[in-house]
Structure 1
Amino acid sequence: MSEEVLINITPQETRIAMVENGVLQEINIERSRSRGMVGNIYRGRVTRVLPGMEAAFIDIGEERAAFLHVSDVELSLAAETATELESATPSIETLLRTGQNLLVQVIKDPIGTKGARLTTEITIPSRYLVYVPNGRNIGVSSRIEDKTERDRLKTGLAELIVEEEGALEGVGGLILRTAAEGVEEEQLRHDYRFLRRLWSNLAERRQQMTDPGLVYEDLPLALRTLRDTLGQFVEKIRIDSRETYHRAIAFAEEMVPDILPIVEHYPGERPIFELHNIEEEIQRALEKRVALKSGGYIVIDQTEAMTTIDVNTGAFVGHKTLEETIFKTNLEAAASIARQLRLRNLGGIIIIDFIDMAEPEHRVQVHQALNRALERDHARTKVCDVSTLGLVEMTRKRTRESLEHVLCETCPVCAGRGSVKTAETVCYEIFREVTRDARQYQPKSMLVIASASVIDRLREEDSTSLAELQEFIGVPLKLQIDLHYLPEQYDIVLM
């Protein structure tokens, strides 16, 4: 498995492509006018407590109020208002009050009409560690599976903290990240000192602020990628901006010196994304239908409530039995679906409609194939078993907008429905409205203004119906085409 990271920089946006074995797996886009908020830390003020939702709205100095659910409130905040009668799971009213100031961190960007989602459990990441100021323990990433290595890291970090601070108590919590596997004590010490300095500066800045606002802004996308998402299989990191390349080198020297040999500047005249067919892949990722190599295909429908994925055999007829054809199509679809979820950054509830399989063993194997394909996904996923109907329910953690929402907007013609009314339907709507207006206002004449397709139909296929309508209401009707009108748009002018 070989990975390559391609970083394309323009003044307007940063785009990062993760390529595995020559195939695009993930695309991340950050625009300078709308940078993501995840990871940012704010001084917030509670503006409204909602007992019915067990949540609160928090003013963080942005246009929209952010949302804080009770499950994301660090329980020590209840100290000021706690009573002996409180239950083990406090309500939002016992934890927060209107006007209260608190330090919060964004865990989910604003999506659609929803504001950012917050937590009071602050976490500050470096290359190998995550600092949790309100925590008390040392944790190890679950992706480090070797028990000996887990124990070595945990013991070594505890000893390091005692050397630096004199004791473990009162320091806060720390989490050893997956990237810490195999690293030496000095690398951990460097990260630990950096995080402690950063937290000290952050706490001082918070004390100086009197109004809600930004206390700490996370790194820009390019540097964040160098810090967070690079695995052991990454062979090259190519950056097409000389300025960003120099910033990346300076950052790597300070924070991640082990990646210095693989960071390089791409000076070519041909755009780096075009060179690797990334632009073409992005266009494909915006289409509903995804072809499979066998001839089958999957159809992806993204809605506000959930994402549905339908698997079809298409032109694939197989070579043996129908069951074998279905099984092979589902196996191929499982791998393709895992890639599309990463590529399109689809999150929330996802329903996959695999083709019905009669053999229980086939359902198990398809489920296992999907889980294996999802192992390399950085987002947290949870997959249920294949039902007897061939449906798989799963969730994928959503922290930012999907690729479609970043690059596209709702169609002004169909308003997001994916279809528009036929000219025939619009004509019959016009007939009903003309009849109603003629009876109510008794005009001398009426002018119908509509799109070319609707007026053409009124003059041709529905000309007889139009003549009968004029005779019935006793009012002459004039027709006028407006080239700027959408297919469903029309106006009736009374004269």
Structure 2
Amino acid sequence: MQDILINWTPQETRVAVIENGAVQDLYIERALERGLVGNIYAGRVARVLPGMQSAFIDIGLERAAFLHVADVILNGNGRSDNGAPAVPIERLVFEGQTLTVQVIKDPIGSKGARVSTQVSIAGRLLVFLPHDNHIGISQKIGSQELREQLRARMNQLVQLPDGTTPAGGFILRTNAEDATDAELADDIAYLRKTWAAIRERGFKAPPGSLLYQDLSLVERVLRDLSNDLTQAIRVDSRIQYEALLAFGEVFTPRAVKKLSHYEGERPIFDLYNIDDEIARALARRVDLKSGGYLIIDQTEALTTVDVNTGGFVGTRNFDDTIFKTNLEATQAIARQLRLRNLGGIIIIDFIDMSREEHQAAVLAELRKQLARDRTRITVSGFTNLGLVEMTRKRTRESLAHMLCEPCPTCEAKGQVKTARSVCYDILREILREARQFNPKEFRIIAAPAVVEMLLDEENQHLAGLSDFIGKPISLQAEPTGSPEAYDIVLL
């Protein structure tokens, strides 16, 4: 069973999914960082450019949006069989015309948003295409036989009780592979209601009006996160609670009965020390209960997870100690991938196991723990070097990328030079400059720890350099922000 806690403020929404008393998933959304992609507007054609086969559309923003002929689908007109525009844009749209358009690319710099008339609305399991009538299946879904089975089920589910099929097509998303008919039917109903509401607003709203904005994180809790295992959804904002009630009664009625307003004196995230969990999820080291630990390093290309025994010595032989540590690590790794939302290529370096049955058991346990993840995962097994290779689909920014920025001191290297290394850099630089310039004196301005070392342990080398170049060298300690930063002033 799981509980979902929602901490809401005007600037930020945070959602935690709790299972067995521990945080399993974290979601964060900031008001100022929400983009426009997915928004649907009542647009007005401001200008048609036949030479560029495009048009500028006024959607109520500071800059007009850009519509290319390849993104225009009206009354069946659009691309030909070879992918080229079947009809020129001047025959598809005209100045002053009202169009329902969807943003497919955010504004960048001086360029306006890019829009399309081919509207799509994403649900939990499906994507609804109001202007299309076919049933599509994600390319990542299994075998051809499974794809045909899903298509046949969808053809039955989209029909109304009288046997007719309303306009509009659907694409099954990757996570619909194991969905039940009831779950698919709920998503179909939700998406059709959403499109009906958009059309109704479109008939009444003036050009430049926002007709639909992709759901906020709070609303996606009801649509995407709530399931049969959810026993309670608690939100600490009365305003958001009432808004969720209204939203849920229309679109997700089964989730409404689980919703409640949290009125406790303690902050809602304090109930499970979630802020401490967030802090731990930003650290490299993750301690295991046995005394072992993980080291997690996230780079641009991939994420590595190193498993270590630490202080765990076990009660039997060393092989059993390693095996138990690796088994315990599988649960922690699966949880950390979700908490940190780590995606892309992931390499796990378990402690080397000499017995093949131990390797097989650890791999089976890892797959079991990863099966709880909502995100698509592929595990390739152990390589010849004893590493486990896996991939986890990127769905949003990782927790570290959302909450942190590169360290200005180490410039994201994760380490800085020692004071002694900086001292030797300075001595080499003075020697280099002494060959080019002839000042009366060299003055070193550096971090206090560097100056202290030059005055103490490296004093003999500093004095020897001064004698060699025949110039005095003075020192000035200043907090530089970075222990590696220094300046050499010629006096």
Residue aligned with 1:159, SS: coil
Q: Which residue pairs with 1:287 in the alignment?
A: 283
- Counterpart contact for 2:344–2:394, Cα < 8 Å: yes
Residue aligned with 1:310, SS: strand
Count matched residues.
449
Deviation for aligned residue 1:424: 0.9
Q: 1:187 to 1:34 in 2, by over 3 A?
A: closer
In the alignment, residue 327 of structure 2 is paired with which amino acid?
L
Deviation for aligned residue 1:142: 7.2
In the alignment, residue 452 of structure 1 is paired with which amino acid?
P
- Counterpart contact for 2:190–2:252, Cα < 8 Å: no
Q: Which residue pairs with 2:242 in the alignment?
A: 246
- Between the aligned partners of 1:117 and 1:37, the Cα distance in structure 2 is 10
Once the two structures are superposed, residues 433-476 of structure 1 have per-residue CA deviations (whole angstroms, 9 ceiling, x without a partner) of: 11121221211112111110111111111111111111111111
Superposed CA RMSD in Å reads: 4.5
In the alignment, residue 160 of structure 1 is paired with which amino acid?
L
Could you tell which deviates more after superposition, 368-377 or 333-342?
368-377
Q: 1:127 to 1:327 in 2, by over 3 A?
A: closer
Q: Which residue pairs with 2:129 in the alignment?
A: 132
- Between the aligned partners of 1:317 and 1:333, the Cα distance in structure 2 is 15
Q: Which residue pairs with 2:170 in the alignment?
A: 173
- Between the aligned partners of 1:184 and 1:301, the Cα distance in structure 2 is 37
Q: 1:12 to 1:380 in 2, by over 3 A?
A: same
Q: Unaligned regions of 5+ residues in structure 1, if any?
A: 44-59, 66-73, 84-89, 96-100, 111-115
Q: Which residue pairs with 1:35 in the alignment?
A: 34
- Counterpart contact for 1:30–1:36, Cα < 8 Å: no
- Counterpart contact for 2:445–2:478, Cα < 8 Å: yes
- Counterpart contact for 1:447–1:494, Cα < 8 Å: yes
Give 2:416's match in structure 1, choosing from 413, 420, 440.
420
- Between the aligned partners of 1:466 and 1:192, the Cα distance in structure 2 is 74
Deviation for aligned residue 1:319: 2.6
Deviation for aligned residue 1:481: 0.8
- Between the aligned partners of 1:253 and 1:178, the Cα distance in structure 2 is 27
In the alignment, residue 305 of structure 1 is paired with which amino acid?
A
In the alignment, residue 271 of structure 2 is paired with which amino acid?
L
Residue aligned with 1:382, SS: strand
- Between the aligned partners of 2:382 and 2:117, the Cα distance in structure 1 is 37
Residue aligned with 2:33, SS: coil
Give 1:300's match in structure 2, choosing from 296, 302, 310.
296
Deviation for aligned residue 1:180: 7.0
Deviation for aligned residue 1:206: 13
Once the two structures are superposed, residues 257-288 of structure 1 have per-residue CA deviations (whole angstroms, 9 ceiling, x without a partner) of: 11122100011121010122111111111111
Deviation for aligned residue 1:491: 0.6
In the alignment, residue 24 of structure 1 is paired with which amino acid?
V
Q: Which residue pairs with 1:228 in the alignment?
A: 224
In the alignment, residue 4 of structure 2 is paired with which amino acid?
V
**Correspondences of 1:336-355 after superposition (within 5 Å):** 336-355=332-351
Once the two structures are superposed, residues 91-111 of structure 1 have per-residue CA deviations (whole angstroms, 9 ceiling, x without a partner) of: xx999xxxxx996647xx99x
- Between the aligned partners of 2:383 and 2:183, the Cα distance in structure 1 is 47
- Counterpart contact for 2:296–2:303, Cα < 8 Å: yes
**Correspondences of 1:355-370 after superposition (within 5 Å):** 355-370=351-366
- Between the aligned partners of 1:121 and 1:79, the Cα distance in structure 2 is 10
Give 2:445's match in structure 1, choosing from 428, 439, 449.
449
**Correspondences of 1:464-479 after superposition (within 5 Å):** 464-479=460-475
- Counterpart contact for 2:5–2:268, Cα < 8 Å: yes
Residue aligned with 1:160, SS: coil
- Counterpart contact for 1:104–1:121, Cα < 8 Å: no
Residue aligned with 2:257, SS: helix
Residue aligned with 2:435, SS: helix
Query: What TM-score, normalized by structure 1, do the two folds share?
Result: 0.77
Q: 1:195 to 1:153 in 2, by over 3 A?
A: farther
Query: What TM-score, normalized by structure 2, do the two folds share?
Result: 0.78
- Between the aligned partners of 1:353 and 1:118, the Cα distance in structure 2 is 45
In the alignment, residue 132 of structure 1 is paired with which amino acid?
L
- Counterpart contact for 1:135–1:174, Cα < 8 Å: no
- Counterpart contact for 2:13–2:29, Cα < 8 Å: yes
Matched, 1:261 2:257: yes
- Between the aligned partners of 2:117 and 2:317, the Cα distance in structure 1 is 56
- Between the aligned partners of 1:326 and 1:120, the Cα distance in structure 2 is 58
Deviation for aligned residue 1:332: 1.1
- Between the aligned partners of 2:330 and 2:178, the Cα distance in structure 1 is 28
Q: Which residue pairs with 1:458 in the alignment?
A: 454
- Between the aligned partners of 1:401 and 1:185, the Cα distance in structure 2 is 28
Residue aligned with 1:478, SS: strand
- Between the aligned partners of 2:476 and 2:183, the Cα distance in structure 1 is 79
- Between the aligned partners of 2:115 and 2:379, the Cα distance in structure 1 is 26
In the alignment, residue 230 of structure 1 is paired with which amino acid?
S
Deviation for aligned residue 1:320: 2.8
Q: 1:62 to 1:296 in 2, by over 3 A?
A: farther
Q: 1:445 to 1:150 in 2, by over 3 A?
A: closer
In the alignment, residue 168 of structure 2 is paired with which amino acid?
V
Q: 1:427 to 1:257 in 2, by over 3 A?
A: same
Q: Unaligned regions of 5+ residues in structure 2, if any?
A: 44-58, 66-72, 87-92, 94-100, 108-112
Q: Which residue pairs with 1:20 in the alignment?
A: 19
Q: 1:78 to 1:337 in 2, by over 3 A?
A: farther
